[in-house]
Amino acid sequence: MTRSECRTPEGPGPRVKRRRRGGFTLIEMIAVALLMALVAALTLPNLGMRGSQATLDEARSLASLLEFARQRAVMTGTPQRVVLDLDEQLYWLEDQAGGDSEEETGLPIRWSEESEIPMQAPRESEREFQLARGPVSRPMSPTPGVWIAAVDTAEGRVERGQVHLPFAWDGSSEGTEVWIAGDGGHQVLLGLAPLADRIRIVRVD
């Protein structure tokens, strides 16, 4: 009698994982796309907020200089003015020179017998302005990504050259609006009223 050998059929054993040669699966590509979208959603608003805050901070800095000029004019009785250079993107404070008087030089003014003594005070338009002394004696520039875009005066809008924002000896000024712009389309309006005690700051964006 011949013995028959019974063989158990081989079941499916563990499959050897094959290493993928290259490329991404559809699920991996979707996961990467979602991750990039999440990073952009978290980053872009922060960049926009930084640009908006930088524009607002620059407007506040210029407003502080304007308020300082107003108070300085009242306390010293000397006209002041803030100069905005839109081409060079600089701004600084100037005061009106009083001339070479005895109080400033310490020497009395001597007139010759043949000279005519002027009895009337010179007009303010004839007096020259000079760079103010002290902590604000240097021109300042806006922070990177922020600039002075335009100035609205009584004569119209100015976008080039220099603009003077004067303050009389009593602190009064001309009605002026200064537009501060920044990257990302951010804008801040700085309003200077003739007789107002405060400078208006309005965030346009």
CB 165 within 8 A of CB 173: yes
Averaged pLDDT score across all residues of the chain: 76
Spatial distance between the Cα atoms of 73 and 68, rounded to a whole number of angstroms = 9
pLDDT of 128 higher than 60: yes
User: What structural domains does the chain harbor?
Assistant: 54-100+126-205 (3.55.40.10)
The closest of 10, 187, 173, 203 to 79, measured between CA atoms, is 173
Q: What pLDDT is attached to residue 35?
A: 65
Check whether 112 has a pLDDT greater than 90: no
Q: In the prediction, which pLDDT does 106 show? A: 39
Nearest to 191 by CA among 63, 55, 52: 63
What letter would DSSP give residue 103?
H
> pLDDT of 161-198, one tens digit each?
999 999 999 999 988 999 999 998 899 999 998 876 77
Identify which of 39-48, 97-106, 140-149 has the greatest average pLDDT.
140-149
3-state secondary structure of 45: helix
Q: Percent of the chain scored above 90 by pLDDT?
A: 44
Mean pLDDT, range 67-82, rounded to an integer: 92
Query: Is residue 46's pLDDT more than 70?
Result: no
Task: Report how far residue 161's alpha carbon sits from residue 146's, in angstroms, rounded to the nearest whole number.
Answer: 18
**Residue 38, SS3 per DSSP:** helix
- Which residues is 191 bridged to in the sheet? 177, 200
Task: Please say if the pLDDT value at position 133 is more than 70.
Answer: yes
> What is the pLDDT at residue 184?
86
Please give the average per-residue pLDDT across 96-124, as a whole number: 48
H or E, element range at 43: helix 26-76
Q: Judge whether residue 102 has pLDDT over 50.
A: no
